[in-house]
Amino acid sequence: MARLGSSFWRVGHGREIGLGARAVIMAIVNVTPDSFSDGGRYETVDAAVTHALQAASEGAGIIDIGGESTRPDADVVSPSEEQARVLPVIEALRGKTDALISIDTYRAETARLAVGAGAHIVNDVFGLQKEREIGKIVADTGAGLCLMHTGRDREKLPDVIADQFFFLERSLEIASAAGVSRDRIVLDPGFGFAKDTEENVELMARFGELHRLGLPLLAGTSRKRFVGAITGRQAAERDAGTAATSVLLRLAGASIFRVHDVAINRDALAIADAMLAASHSCEQGNLA
């Protein structure tokens, strides 16, 4: 069981968020017609904003807005279409919630416009290794940055943790060269991105090894295919399974949880946080 230290993730527009005693929930808002579990539900600006505000009221500290599905067989959208989907939502949310706003994109121009519209964080599923100009945008604007591991479009190393280090250390080199300070970065091991069920489960089991990278960790298991493979559930029925993975990964030291269903994960993580606090208290008592 991981011992969680306290730190702050510095993000854009002069904001920061504490990471430590309490798990932070990042709510998924897909402004897309084809996302794997909720495609089309929040395709309009009004529907997306209503969903985002509901997620914030249920306990999400971060709202992650995406305009292109990242499922393996999804259609690629143009940068202009992506921006037309996400920018009005960001602009509408700005000033309506204290939750931080994250833009889920791997495109530098979308990232630049989104931060200008009010986004605090850039969440890049290619870890700066598709459009590394995102690093310069983050450095110039002071935005927060989430670097995700992916196995797509390349040959992976056979060991799941060795491949994490191989990929994420390269992403961190790109970020450093662009001038992004480490207190603005969190890392996401990319559950489900070119990983089969066995690899995802092994990644969960060995999650604690990722702390050697020395940065806060985000877990994005929500409704993923491997959860369905284990539980036998369809995508929209995987929230209980997701909550189980959230608890396990919280105990392994994850700080941020990117989820579809905020309420069930909030409750599950509250139990995990209470147990971690009690464990820490017992350890302190034994040392006294």
| Separation CA 129–CA 150 (nearest Å) | 10
Residue 170 to residues 144, 147, 159, 174, Cα–Cα distance (Å): 18, 10, 17, 6
Which of 143, 147, 118 is CA-nearest to residue 132? 147
Q: In what order do the strands lie in the sheet with 218-219?
A: 185-188, 144-148, 121-124, 100-104, 62-66, 24-30, 256-259, 218-219
Which of 12, 68, 60, 76 is CA-nearest to residue 43? 68
| Separation CA 7–CA 23 (nearest Å) | 12
* Residue 114 token pair: 């989104």
Identity of residue 213: L
Contact in structure between 122 and 136 (CB atoms under 8 Å): no
Pairing of strands 7-10, 16-19: antiparallel
For the annotated catalytic residues, the residue numbers are: 224, 258
| Separation CA 249–CA 257 (nearest Å) | 9
Q: CA 144, 23, 251, 227: dihedral to nearest 10 degrees?
A: -80
